Amino acid sequence: MTKSDNLPEPNPGIMEIASYVPGKSAVPSGVKLFKLSANETPLGPSPAAKQAYMERAGSLEDYPDGSSSQLREAIAKAHGVNPANVLCGNGSDELLGLMAQCYLQPGDEAIYTEHGFLMYRIGILGAGATPIVAPEKNHTADVDAILARVTDATRLVYLANPNNPTGTYLAMSEVRRLHAGLPDSTILILDAAYAEYVRRNDYESGIELVAGSNNVVMTRTFSKIHGLAALRVGWVFGPDHIISVLDRMRGPFNVNAAAQAAAQEAVADREMVDKAVAHNDEWLTWTSEEMHKLGLRVTPSVGNFILIHFDAVDGKSAEGADAYLTQRGYVLRLVGGYGLPNSIRMTIGTEEACRGTVAALGEYLKA
């Protein structure tokens, strides 16, 4: 037997994972880049968050606060929750993964929806459990389809609300109906990364449901509306017993000091959040309408992005559009990995980026 015949074996499920591929950001040399592939805010972070980040440069030799205590207090104050029920992480991705690591094992099942965030599947397989996909209806989570797939082995249900990359959402009445149909031993994970952008009377991020339940958690991020994607900060709100479990498994200094300082200021800057929401409301509506005028179908979105479909355009494709746009500096996101092979996701960027993308797409469709 040669040495290569006896290689170490990874845990079950890991080799079934397709590595996560982030949105690209490269354009031809000399072409101005408009990165619209990662749902980053075009307004950037709060000036106070930038200042807090820079001030940390004077003490980089010091370990950060291991419990992110001041950041948890700031989050709790901004959202009206108990800081003891908040746990911070290295982006919400870490916390979503910890839920799988802590509550799944081989033989267990976890459910996510057809076009749900790819990190759910990665976390489930990484824990050796079985991912179960619930079909969506009109690119929207279907409560009945999810509940129909719940078995005695179901431990977790992941629900992105709003969902990425579709931009659709479930009304809180439907979320509560989903929760009511789950066994007490099954945890409902509400991924509310885009909650701040939603302006619908029937939407809630899930804070009240978590506060009144023993088997619901809500994750949030500073990467989107707060503009701190480079720093990787997220948080989870949950009942005592789940927070205690996650706290035992997280890294001892999982949120760096500069990230904590910047996030603390960002969550307190309500004016900056309002500016980002106003910008998004204006240009989400404008861009969606202009895409319709071009003959493209757009899934109605409540996030800071739109999903554009090319299935009704003869001789044109999402891949063709992506290549054409990239050559002109407009970088969008192909979403074939989400089961949407002829669609492309566009982040709502600056006015210049939105107008330029629409104009370039118009040229592509005529070419």
1 pLDDT higher than 50: no
| Whole-number average pLDDT of the chain | 95
User: What are the tens digits of pLDDT across the range 12-60?
Assistant: 788 887 776 766 667 777 888 999 999 999 999 999 999 999 999 999 9
User: What are the tens digits of pLDDT across the range 106-116?
Assistant: 999 999 999 99
- Residue 94 pLDDT: 97
Domain map of the chain by residue range?
A: 3-44+271-366, 47-268
Please state at what angle helix 240-249 crosses helix 91-103, rounded to 10 degrees. Answer: 100
User: What are the tens digits of pLDDT across the range 250-265?
Assistant: 999 999 999 999 999 9
90 pLDDT higher than 50: yes
Average pLDDT of 131-154? 98
Lookup result for tokens 């970088």: 331
- Residue 67 pLDDT: 96
pTM given for the model: 0.93
Q: Which residues contact 141 (CB under 8 A, 6 or more apart)?
A: 113, 134, 159, 160, 161, 163, 168, 170
126 pLDDT higher than 50: yes
- For the record, the structure tokens of 127 come out as 């824990």
Please report, for residues 72, 108, 219, the alpha-carbon distance to residue 276 in angstroms, rounded to integers and kept in the order given: 23, 41, 20
153 pLDDT higher than 80: yes
Q: Which residues pair with 256 in a beta bridge?
A: none
Average pLDDT of 62-66? 95
User: What are the tens digits of pLDDT across the range 199-245?
Assistant: 999 999 999 999 999 999 999 999 999 999 999 999 999 999 999 99
**Number of residues that this document lists for the chain:** 367
* Phi and psi, residue 260, nearest 5°: -60, -45
Please state at what angle helix 47-55 crosses helix 257-268, rounded to 10 degrees. Answer: 160
- Residue 20 pLDDT: 66
CB-CB contact of 139 with 301 (8 Å): no
- Residue 346 pLDDT: 98
- In the CATH scheme, what is the code of domain 3-44+271-366? 3.90.1150.10
- Residue 29 pLDDT: 78
Q: Distance between CA 74 and CA 155 in Å, rounded?
A: 31
CA-CA-CA-CA torsion for 296, 300, 305, 306, nearest 10 degrees?
Answer: -20
Cα-only R_g, the chain: 21
- In the CATH scheme, what is the code of domain 47-268? 3.40.640.10
- Residue 234 pLDDT: 98
120 pLDDT higher than 80: yes
340 pLDDT higher than 60: yes
- Residue 365 pLDDT: 95
Q: Distance between CA 334 and CA 345 in Å, rounded?
A: 6
